[in-house]
Amino acid sequence: MSRKTETPPKRVAICLEMEWGYKRHLETYAGIHKYADKAGWECVTIPSAVRVLKPRSGVAPFDGVLGRITEPLAQTARKLKIPAVNVWLNSPAKKVPSVLPDFETSGKMAAQHLVGRGFRRFGYMGFLREKDSRLQIQGFRKILKPLGFRFSTHRFPRTGLGGDGLGWERFLKGLEKWVESWEVPVGILVGNDLYCRHLIETCRAKGLQVPQDVAIVGTSNEPAICASPYPALTSIDLDCERIGYRAAAMLDGLMKGDEPPKQLAYSPPKGLVPRQSTDSRAADDPIVAKALRFIAENGHERMKVSDIASAVAITRRTLERKFRDSLGRTIAEEIARLRVERAKRLMVETKDSFKALAVDLGFRNADHFYKVFSRVEGITPSQYRNQRLKEKKGD
């Protein structure tokens, strides 16, 4: 009786700069392995050096390769007839099947978020001559232009900012000049979370407060960068785990003989994660802006409308009229909105009880918190927390 020969598992090379420690690389890696485990692949994480693909005994060492595909790596893979899938948006490699983050949609998300916060002046900060920034600006513009809003841009070369930082002083001078040109309040989208921190430092040096004068949205939702110091960063989560999974699925098809897709595949972001850097409402009226700043800074305290009026040195009746004219809502509604926004974030990021949250957020008690949250959101705090936790488990 003849014994059936088992088919050896596919050997796949993963080319990602894991040593950088960025969430986007680690999540892409996790998504690849999620698919690889199901497919029974043997995966090897390698540097992107072309020499790793050098054939031994005339046989290519891998059945497929995916990750950040450079042009030399793409050429070598084609020469060896090894299918390759790219996940690097700014890759110079041409005609390589790719699954990429949808930066255009991320730009739309940021614009919608900032417009919803009441901003009427905007800016974009990102890299020069790179595709991610170009696509993000494109999405940003698609939302703002039909509404009659314009925005200024500050784009800078990536080179010279790492290592010895030879281009740092030039970068900082350009950033300072751009910030000085603003008329606040202004909403800013930044193409990289790390550069949000440089922007915040520059704003502080110029006497501008985030989020009261400047609301900032970052990109990539890198946890260590977004979490601290104050203010925590609102950011777009690009859902790189899904990108990794979809790239692995595409590679699987190519290794089985499928024709390469004729177009690049773009994977949508998971969503915008709101945090303190956009935890404000914009107002052109200087009195209302000052009142909003007081509310944002003291929203966790028990406060009355009369306390806010005293803080901005105006009568309660005048302040209430200015709020209605400027924002279309009452002062009490704005306080409730701010507290509910913070509650939504804390309910997902912590396991604190509703009683503890109510105290920390300035509500009278847990019952008051429940009533206000349900009125503003249309669902109870318990329903909101359960929905968000289910979403996180399903990711």
Residue 237 reports pLDDT greater than 90: yes
The dihedral through the CA atoms of 182, 188, 189, 190 has a sign that is positive
Angle between helices 331-349 and 316-327 (to 10 degrees): 70
List beta partners, residue 170: none
Q: Are 15 and 43 in contact (CB under 8 A)?
A: no
99 within 8 A of 243, measured Cβ to Cβ: yes
Helical axes 331-349 vs 366-377, angle rounded to 10°? 100
Task: Give the CATH number of domain 11-101+241-269.
Answer: 3.40.50.2300
Q: Where are the domains of the chain?
A: 11-101+241-269, 103-237, 286-394
- Greater confidence, 154 or 299? 154
Using alpha carbons, list the distances in angstroms from residue 133 to 155, 156, 192, 207, 367.
Answer: 8, 10, 9, 28, 46
**Interatomic CA distance for residues 360 and 339, integer angstroms:** 10
Same fold? 103-237, 286-394: no
Q: What is the mean pLDDT of residues 365-376?
A: 88
Q: Percent of the chain at pLDDT above 90?
A: 50
Q: Tens digit of pLDDT for each residue in 50-68?
A: 777 777 766 778 999 999 9
Angle separating helix axes 331-349 and 286-298, nearest 10 degrees: 40
Identify the CA nearest to 23 among candidates 195, 231, 239: 239
Mean pLDDT of 311-339: 84
Contact of 193 with 226, CB cutoff 8 Å = yes
- What is the percent of the chain with per-residue pLDDT over 70, rounded to a whole number? 95
End-to-end CA distance of the chain: 48
Q: Is the pLDDT of residue 273 over 70?
A: yes
Kindly report the CA angle at 82 between 77 and 87, in degrees rounded to 5?
70
Return the higher-pLDDT residue of 272 and 344: 272
Asked whether residue 379 carries a pLDDT value surpassing 60, the answer given is yes
Q: What is the pTM of this model?
A: 0.80
Q: Give the CATH number of domain 286-394.
A: 1.10.10.60
- 103-237 placed in CATH 3.40.50.2300: yes
Q: Please report the pLDDT score of residue 66 as a whole number.
A: 94
Amino acid at 111: A
Angle at 12 between CA 9 and CA 18, to 5 degrees: 135
Residues in the chain: 395
The structure tokens listed for 182 are: 């603003």
pLDDT for 1 beyond 70: no
Alpha helix positions (H), the chain: 23-39, 71-79, 103-116, 131-144, 168-180, 193-205, 223-227, 240-255, 286-298, 305-311, 316-327, 331-349, 354-361, 366-377, 381-394
CA-CA-CA-CA torsion sign (243, 90, 16, 96):
positive
Q: How many CB atoms lie within 10 A of CB 306?
A: 11
Lowest mean pLDDT among 30-34, 260-264, 305-309: 305-309
Amino acid letter for position 154: H
Q: Which residue has the tokens 């110091």?
A: 229
pLDDT above 90: residue 342: no
223 against 165, higher pLDDT:
223
* Mean pLDDT estimate for the chain: 88
Q: Which tokens in the block code for residue 59? A: 């046989």
Instruction: Tell me if 37 sits within 8 A of 43, measured CB to CB.
Output: no
Three-state DSSP state, 279: coil
